[in-house]
Amino acid sequence: MSITLLVMSGCYKDKTVIINKTLEVTRDVTFAADIAPIFSKSCAVSGCHASGGHIPDLSADKAFSALSLGGYLNTGSPETSELYLWLSGKKTTVMPVSGINTDYNALVLAWIKQGAQNN
């Protein structure tokens, strides 16, 4: 009589790997025309990043100050900017909660790479 013992090692998730398939934006990106509308549409809504909600306040009149003074931007290493990490899913919860939007991420990353100006 033969007994076979099958030992299976458990699988576990210790890292999330995000493959960035976003095309790089090479045109000039402005805060007023490109970035603020993203926040207004997807972030600065009731219960999220609007006045009185979660920080940072991404309301149109407060977003730039909240991001620049709050340490969410790193123009020296844009891919490590707190803002970009949240948007690209490299933090625990993807922002916006509706899911990753590669078009928005490309614009935000380009804006940060271009110096994250209040233009």
pLDDT score recorded for residue 9: 44
In a domain, 104, yes or no: yes
In a domain, 60, yes or no: yes
In a domain, 96, yes or no: yes
**Prediction pTM value:** 0.79
Q: Which domain holds residue 66?
A: 31-113
In a domain, 13, yes or no: no
Residue pLDDT, tens place only, 97-118: 888 999 999 999 999 999 999 9
Please, what sign has the CA dihedral across residues 46, 52, 58, 63? positive
Q: How many structural domains comprise the chain?
A: 1
Contacts of residue 67, Cβ cutoff 8 Å, sequence gap at least 6: 56, 58, 73, 83, 116
Residue pLDDT, tens place only, 41-93: 999 988 899 988 999 999 999 999 999 999 999 999 999 999 999 999 998 78
In a domain, 49, yes or no: yes
In a domain, 5, yes or no: no
